[in-house]
Amino acid sequence: MTRALTIFLLGVIVVVTFGAFARDVLGLSCVGPVLPAWGCLSEPLPDTLPGNMGILWYGFLAAVGFAICYVVRDVVYLVGQGVGRRLFPHLAKAAGVESEPPRRGYRIR
């Protein structure tokens, strides 16, 4: 559960950061034409949905995102461990993680 929560929180941080960058820096908060009387006609975010529909939409996205993180959690950690052992073998050795099984001094039949 903590692995899935870690992956989910990292994903949320990435999405929120890039979303803010896209809206504020790139100006993608309004995709359609801007009319003087109405303002933006096409906003990509569901903030303008009536009532609590925007909150329900974000809740649905969070639930689906967490479910996906829960399914792929072991794969992400195994790939991360493999990449970490290949790129930083001295750090893995210092942490006590062995990349190969220990060599035996005697023969096994």
- Are the C-beta atoms of residues 15 and 6 closer than 8 Å to each other? no
What pLDDT does 25 receive? 82
Q: How many CB atoms lie within 10 A of CB 89?
A: 12
Each residue's pLDDT tens digit, 86-95: 888 888 777 7
Copy the structure tokens of residue 60. Answer: 């649905």
pLDDT grade for 57, boundaries at 50, 70 and 90: confident
What pLDDT does 64 receive? 92
Each residue's pLDDT tens digit, 18-44: 878 887 788 777 777 778 887 777 766
φ/ψ bin of 52: left (φ > 0), alpha (ψ from -120 to 50), beta (otherwise): alpha
Rounded to two decimals, the pTM is 0.55
